[in-house]
């Protein structure tokens, strides 16, 4: 038993057990507070882009994320994006390499603003990514009962949109003005 072990070996076992227990407790805390951590991360990401985001995370795990309502508000008070529900599915290509496999949006509303020369999404441009001319690996996108509003100097245009597929490679898009 433990009485026959040298003090040095007992000390090493004690420290190894202590470190293991500490790591397990830390991982358990991260798992328990994962939704709060994710919400804090999203708030910071939005804040860094001068946006205010409200996200109702309902579930978060290794397979992805599911939310209730999501609302993104610009510093000017405009809402360029909102949705009743979002489901993001991840595929793990390797141990530390998750890939976005599918994004489903239910009743999304996208508001675009035009000054007559350009169209902007009021702050969402910063979320576009890296500016590479080649297409990244895009997820399958499913949009159910979406609305797009385009606010122009000539008035407000409204269109309904639905989409399934992995654009620009394949998919179906329906747009009705």
Tens digit of each residue's pLDDT (9 = 90 or more) over 91-116: 877 777 778 889 999 999 999 888 88
pTM for the full predicted model: 0.72
Q: CB–CB of 145/162 below 8 Å?
A: yes
> How many whole angstroms separate alpha carbon 82 and alpha carbon 146?
10
Residues with Cβ within 8 Å of residue 135, at least 6 apart in sequence: 168
What is the pLDDT at residue 24?
92
> How many whole angstroms separate alpha carbon 142 and alpha carbon 163?
5
> How many whole angstroms separate alpha carbon 62 and alpha carbon 89?
9
Q: What is the pLDDT of residues 38-57, one digit of tens each?
A: 888 888 888 888 889 999 99
> How many whole angstroms separate alpha carbon 141 and alpha carbon 102?
6
């Amino acid at each position: 038993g433990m009485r026959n072990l040298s003090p040095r070996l007992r000390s090493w076992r004690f420290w190894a057990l202590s470190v293991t227990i500490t790591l397990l407790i830390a991982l358990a805390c991260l798992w328990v507070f994962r939704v709060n951590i994710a919400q804090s991360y999203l708030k910071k990401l939005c804040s860094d882009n001068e946006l205010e985001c409200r996200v109702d995370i309902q579930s978060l795990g290794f397979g992805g994320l599911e939310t209730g309502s999501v609302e993104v508000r610009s510093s000017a008070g405009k809402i360029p994006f909102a949705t009743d529900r979002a489901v993001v599915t991840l595929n793990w290509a390797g141990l530390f390499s998750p890939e976005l496999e599918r994004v489903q949006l239910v009743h999304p509303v996208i508001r675009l603003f035009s000054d007559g020369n350009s169209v902007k999404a009021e702050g969402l441009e910063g979320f576009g990514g890296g500016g590479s001319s080649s297409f990244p690996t895009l997820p399958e996108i499913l949009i159910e009962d979406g609305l797009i509003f385009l606010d122009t100097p000539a008035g407000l245009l409204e269109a309904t949109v639905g989409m399934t597929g992995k654009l620009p490679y394949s998919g179906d898009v329906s747009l009705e003005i």
